[in-house]
Amino acid sequence: MNKIPGPVKLIIKIVLSIAFFSVLLSFVRGNELLELFSRINWVFFLLSFVVTVVMVAASCAKWKLILDLKDDIPYRELFRIYMVGYFFSNILPSTVGGDVVRSYYAGRLIENQGYSAVSVFVERFSGIFFLFFLVTVAPLFQTGLYQSPYILFPALAGGCLAMITIWVWKAENPFALPDGIARFCLAILRKTGDVPLLGFFKRVADSLERLYSGIIDRLKKLRKELDVAMAAVRENKRFLQRLILLTVLFYLLTWVNVYTAFMAFDVHVDFLAICAIVPAIMLVAHVPVTLLGNLGYFESVFVFYFLLVGVGGAESLAMGLLLRLKMLFMGAIGYIVYLTYRQKFIPDTADTLQHGGNKEI
């Protein structure tokens, strides 16, 4: 199966971003947005930026906690690297992700690209796994939300993904059962393809086999990385407690982040309603659809979900645009750090990452 060329992907994502914003603006009158921006509460506006900085700092602290198991890198140095990664992830339309950049930089500092990659994985995955849990139970803050399929289905998906993760980690041979089922189904499809005029079933079977093999390969990689992470936990019992605390702190801050962003426009939204739906928003909004941190799609998801709890489209869009502004602000800081960051072993970071950096990870 041929992959879509990079330039074509970029064009598709640009078109999708424009499309999402066009749909958004068709539901929101321009004067409503202007009115909201004309009555900004500057105390909450500035507080909202402070919350964003604290969120990034908490994520960086969790990353340092993991790296400290192998080597002690000064927090200030790691924070600079984290900001560079933020720039690559949220502003630069590049095929090089922020996690790859962070892994490469930190790997050169500790002279161990393998463990650096694992540290980035554990930092990210611990947050993702906790999100699976939150998206399942957070609607309990307003139980009526489970009646909406837009809340119920993400909740079910989160629960299933959490159970699959635990199965892959804990089972002695987690891939035996799915492999047997997949082989059985593929054999049926190929057998059906032997029937005259039904030969296309064989092509379907070939495509599904490639898809299945790719998924299994990723899950096997996940299993190996989880084993490495758990070995670190067994060596240091307090490590897991700190990891959980920093992960919980980050998600508490995501709720505060959305609340203060609404309050920046004097829009009062029940904090428990925010707690109930933000995890589902985070799960849905981070499906990679458009470029530059899901520009357009990210804001659309916020508007759609907050309509479920009675918040107007203009108010949610204004809040979403403020979140976008903060992402750009942090990305701009990351760009400045990137320009001024000097390490003697990195003559040209972008070129190294594109052509050789990934080989070491």
Q: Is 313's pLDDT higher than 70?
A: yes
Q: Is 222's pLDDT higher than 80?
A: no
* Token couple for 68: 């400290």
The rounded distance, in Å, linking the Cα atoms of 317 and 313 is 6
Is residue 190 very low, low, confident or very high in pLDDT (cuts 50, 70, 90)? confident
Give backbone dihedrals phi and psi of 4, rounded to 5 degrees, phi first.
Answer: -75, 130
- Please state, for a pLDDT cut of 70, what percent of the chain lies above it: 84
Residue 289 vs residues 14, 18, 274, 321: alpha-carbon distances, Å? 10, 12, 24, 18
Comparing CA positions, the residue from 47, 43, 25, 46 lying closest to residue 34 is: 25
The rounded distance, in Å, linking the Cα atoms of 66 and 141 is 32
Comparing CA positions, the residue from 32, 15, 98 lying closest to residue 319 is: 32
User: How confident is the model at residue 69, as a pLDDT?
Assistant: 82
pLDDT tens per residue across span 237-276: 788 889 999 999 999 999 999 999 999 999 999 999 999 9
pLDDT tens per residue across span 18-28: 777 677 766 67
- CA atoms in the 13 A half-sphere facing the CB of 36: 26
Instruction: Please list the alpha-helical segments (H only) found in the chain.
Output: 6-27, 30-38, 42-67, 75-90, 98-110, 113-137, 149-170, 176-193, 200-235, 237-263, 271-285, 291-294, 297-307, 313-340, 349-352, 358-360
Give backbone dihedrals phi and psi of 173, rounded to 5 degrees, phi first.
Answer: -135, 75
What SS3 state is found at 161? helix
pLDDT tens per residue across span 99-156: 888 988 898 888 888 788 888 888 988 899 999 999 999 999 998 999 999 999 999 9
The whole model's pTM is what?
Answer: 0.81
Amino acid at 259: Y
- Give one DSSP letter per residue of 86-131, joined into a string: HHHHHT---SS-HHHHHHHHHHHHHT-HHHHHHHHHHHHHHHHHHH
